[in-house]
Amino acid sequence: MEGSNLVPLIEALDNDIDDLEEALSPLLKASWSEYGSKLPVLDKAQLYILITYAIESMIFSYLRLNGVNAKEHPIFRELTRVKQYFSKVNSAESSGSKRNAQLDKAAAGRFIKHGLAGNDKFDMKEAERLRQAKATAAAKVEQNEKKRKRPDEETTSIEAHAQTDTTKGNEEDAKVQKASRKAEKSFARSKRKSRRNRALKMGRSRL
């Protein structure tokens, strides 16, 4: 890299160092333990993590300025570990906020309900609201029960129709078979009668 191209980079680095010194000046003027003792637990954890991250970032930058592959240096693993602590503190902070919000909401509900207790108008409205809620829930249960039974009824109806059709079909087959047997018997009788008539004729002709 040419020397003329390095000048803007060096000037930018010098400005960044000035900004860093200004940002760290409150911490450099006082003891970290004394400064952190006045903070809540989560804020104290964030302070120590930020200080550690700032120190390790400066070491990382120093190594790179001296031509060292900082990503293969142990300091890079330390930076990764500190970033994980950032995530843990943020998760603890967000879960604490949600829990406090839920507790506050529940406490507010109890306070309002307790304050309105004994008010006849409120008690009547609350009783009516509970009655309607129960009626709605019961209606939904009944509706779901009907929906559940309807397929069973339809299946039973289909099976009954199928059984009726099968019975009718069997009856028709029986009638056809009976008529067929009757026709066969009639044909056999006619055939026997014809044979007898021929025999009688032959006997008479011989006489």
Task: Supply the pLDDT for residue 95.
Answer: 72
CB 76 within 8 A of CB 60: yes
Report the candidate in 49, 110, 58, 51 with the shortest Cα–Cα distance to residue 81: 49
171: three-class secondary structure by DSSP: helix
Query: What's the average model confidence in pLDDT over 36-56?
Result: 83
**Among 40-44, 82-86, 177-181, 198-202, whose mean pLDDT is lowest?**
198-202
Report the candidate in 125, 128, 124, 148 with the shortest Cα–Cα distance to residue 136: 128
Q: What pLDDT digit, counting tens, does each position of 127-137 carry?
A: 677 778 778 88
DSSP letter (8 states) at residue 69? -
Q: Using CA atoms, how far apart are residues 59 and 9, in angstroms rounded to an integer?
A: 19
**C-alpha of 10 from chain center:** 54
CB 42 within 8 A of CB 89: yes
Alpha-carbon dihedral sign for residues 79, 82, 86, 88: positive
CB 84 within 8 A of CB 49: no
Task: Supply the pLDDT for residue 123.
Answer: 58
List C-alpha distances in Å: 57 to 17, 82, 114: 12, 11, 55
Place of tokens 């779901």: 144
Residue 88, amino acid = K
pTM reported for the whole predicted model: 0.41
Report the candidate in 60, 38, 36 with the shortest Cα–Cα distance to residue 46: 36
Q: Using CA atoms, how far apart are residues 207 and 202, in angstroms rounded to an integer?
A: 9
Length of the chain: 207
Q: What pLDDT digit, counting tens, does each position of 145-186 carry?
A: 777 766 555 556 666 666 666 666 667 767 767 766 776 766
